[in-house]
Structure 1
Amino acid sequence: MSLTLAQFNDFDQDQATSALLTCCTSSRWAHNVASARPFETLEALIAHSDTVWSKVQQQESDLLEALDGHPQIGNVATLKEKYRNTADSAAHEQSGANEADDEVLEALAQGNQAYLDKFGFIFIVFATGKSAKQMLDLLLARLPNERTTELVNAATEQNKITRLRLNKLFE
């Protein structure tokens, strides 16, 4: 789906919220951004999104809701089922995992499970432009962290992804 800012501004609240949920699955974020319409520029929308996210991410349940909208890196097969809203975006964003050899993919799967077991949420990274090996290296570097550190890291990565998806939504 591609929209103009004028179309988005003309949407009713439910339509605008629904469009935003394709960028980030935090319902509070989407509702709050949609409620601030109209936006004069995409830059103003993204700036407001950043402001809303800085508040929303402080509530762990809202952050976890946003993270739940992502498949595990390399687990693109689950996109059509669980992540229908963000499937197209995530498949493109994770395209680096599609080219990886089996050894890297297996290590990524094991690392993802270890991360999920330790922190209680999936490993998330702004994957665009990164190879599976680079994502694996980032995962392994973050795995020793404390949960509070990883919540901050996840929130930062989520916002990068949201910003990319907003730009794509309004191409």
Structure 2
Amino acid sequence: MGAILRLLLPPRMMELAFEEKDFLACCGSTDFAKQMALISPFSSIEAAIDAARDIWFNKVDVNGWLEAFAAHPKIGESKSANNKSETSAQWSKGEQSTALATATGSSLQELAEWNARYWKKFGFVFLICASGRSTSEILAELKRRYPNRPIVEFEIAAQEQMKIIELRLEKLFSSNEKPASTGNQYSAIAVKKVEDRVSVIGGHLTSASEGSASKTLQIPTRTRPPITTHVLDVCPAAGMDVLLEMWKGSQPRPMFGESDKGGWVLQGCSTTDKDGRSGQLTNIVEFANPGMYKISFNTGKYSPGGFFPYVSILFEIKETQKLEHFHVPLLLSPFSFMTYRGS
């Protein structure tokens, strides 16, 4: 998304410095806003988005995530009591405009009931990047996500918040552009047209396919290693040993049911911090080497007497994916675990 917008906007639009209050409008976490303001200005929208992703997923703690969630009004409502930014409130209203325009009295009532139900189960507002979504779409997504375990839903909400951050950073850059006094100026109307074109191309959504498409336009500069992980055990799991290995055996890949002794080569190791996030498992490089990888977690040492002495997760990075990022979290309880590819 950022790469597309960068191609459409003139370079002078990108050389802008912003204050903490500007970033607070993009995300309700004061820690996020402070860290973004400290490293501003940014050379481009993409640089700002890359920095925002790193700060949001790797440097803002659980309390910061909850603070950001609380700044959002419930879908169907105009304002949150915890919102510290008038700009953010205006943007929220605009992002919900499609939902409100397609709502009926009965659908708003149903939405309010499901919002209350969601809040009672999870303890935070139902978060979704609502721009361009109808009330029926949002209701369907709320009902689909409601059966999730709280720990899973917490991670999904954080990913939705990142989509909103990206969208608002683009608005921030566009609204603060200062036209030159000579010809070929970018007026407010021109900026709106750019936003519309970007929305048509892919909007604020950051699906895997869109991520791949944008990377074909511009090779990004990484701000973190290509492979990362974290561990959550209802709350963050601190002090867990983590190993990252890559398959270097005689066969192209380890075969199911066959011994893989000697085939795995250590790439890095770390221990999770107080937020459950591991340190660097690899160097920060432009691309990951294609192949089979394994992340192992010493769950037995972390939780003696649990059902799993250790957990290993295998995944493959293909040649066409080597520029992408691979976040492989572990969601753990004494008698179960799950994983997925995160952001």
Given that 2:83 and 2:89 are in contact with CA atoms closer than 8 Å, whether structure 1 keeps it comes out as yes
TM-score scaled by length of structure 2: 0.44
- The CA distance in 2 between the partners of 1:135 and 1:165, in whole Å, is 20
Root mean square deviation of aligned Cα = 1.6
Please list, as runs of the form range in 1=range in 2, the aligned pairs for 1:7-156 lying within 5 A after superposition: 7-8=16-17, 16-56=19-59, 59-76=61-78, 78=79, 83=83, 85=85, 86-99=88-101, 100-156=103-159
How far off its partner does 1:60 sit? Answer: 1.6
TM-score scaled by length of structure 1: 0.87
Given that 1:56 and 1:63 are in contact with CA atoms closer than 8 Å, whether structure 2 keeps it comes out as no
- Richer in strand (by share): 2
Q: 1:122 to 1:56 in 2, by over 3 A?
A: farther
Give me the identity figure in percent.
36
- Richer in helix (by share): 1
- The CA distance in 2 between the partners of 1:32 and 1:72, in whole Å, is 27
Please list, as runs of the form range in 1=range in 2, the aligned pairs for 1:153-168 lying within 5 A after superposition: 153-168=156-171
- The CA distance in 2 between the partners of 1:131 and 1:40, in whole Å, is 35
Q: 1:28 to 1:82 in 2, by over 3 A?
A: closer
Q: Which has the higher contact order (CA 8 A, sep 6+)?
A: 1
Q: Which runs of 4+ in 1 moved over 3 A?
A: 4-7, 81-84
Q: 1:56 to 1:66 in 2, by over 3 A?
A: farther
Larger Rg, first or second structure (1 or 2): 2
CA deviation profile, 1:16-48 (whole Å, cap 9, x unmatched):
111100110111111111111232112111111
- Equivalent pairs counted in the alignment come to 159
For structure 1, the 5+ residue unaligned runs are none
Q: 1:46 to 1:38 in 2, by over 3 A?
A: same
- The CA distance in 1 between the partners of 2:14 and 2:47, in whole Å, is 11
For structure 2, the 5+ residue unaligned runs are 1-12, 175-343
Given that 1:56 and 1:62 are in contact with CA atoms closer than 8 Å, whether structure 2 keeps it comes out as no
For 2:49, give the aligned amino acid: I
How far off its partner does 1:6 sit? Answer: 3.8
- The CA distance in 2 between the partners of 1:97 and 1:109, in whole Å, is 13
Bigger Cα displacement from structure 2, 40-49 vs 81-90:
81-90
